[in-house]
Amino acid sequence: MQSSDRFEGLQPYITGFVLALVLTVIPFGLVAAGLLLPFATLVIIAILAVVQVVVHLRYFLHVGQSTPRENLLTLAFAALLIFIMIGGSLWIMLDLNARMMS
């Protein structure tokens, strides 16, 4: 077994790791430098977070075009549940904040 054969299976993981690292460092750099307005920084961080989710799905969870339909439906259902939980939590917190301020 040659050394190139041994590391051939690691190529997607290394690529995913480097992409995830870059997508993590960029938001930290934006916040630390403070070059942009807060709203623009939040928008960029949100976009990079979505891109990082796609990177994790593609390179670490191996979700791609050849993924069975059942797995994609399970993933979509999980994303819907997470969206409902986060949205509901934000709704409750913002409503409580509005009630406490009035």
Q: Which domain holds residue 47?
A: 1-66
- Domain total for the chain? 2
Residues 30 and 59 in one domain: yes
Residues 50 and 8 in one domain: yes
Residues 48 and 78 in one domain: no
23 within 8 A of 51, measured Cβ to Cβ = yes
Give the C-alpha separation, 54 to 77, whole Å.
16
Better-scored residue on pLDDT, 67 or 83: 83
Residues 76 and 35 in one domain: no
Give the DSSP per-residue string, 19-47.
Answer: HHHHHHHHHHHHHHHT-S-HHHHHHHHHH
Residues 41 and 55 in one domain: yes
Task: Give the pLDDT confidence score for residue 62 in this predicted structure.
Answer: 86
Residues 89 and 79 in one domain: yes
Look up residue 57 and give its DSSP letter: I
pLDDT tens-place string over residues 24-77:
999 999 999 999 999 999 999 999 999 999 999 899 988 887 878 888 888 899
pTM for the model? 0.71
Residues 6+ apart with CB under 8 A from 75: 57, 63
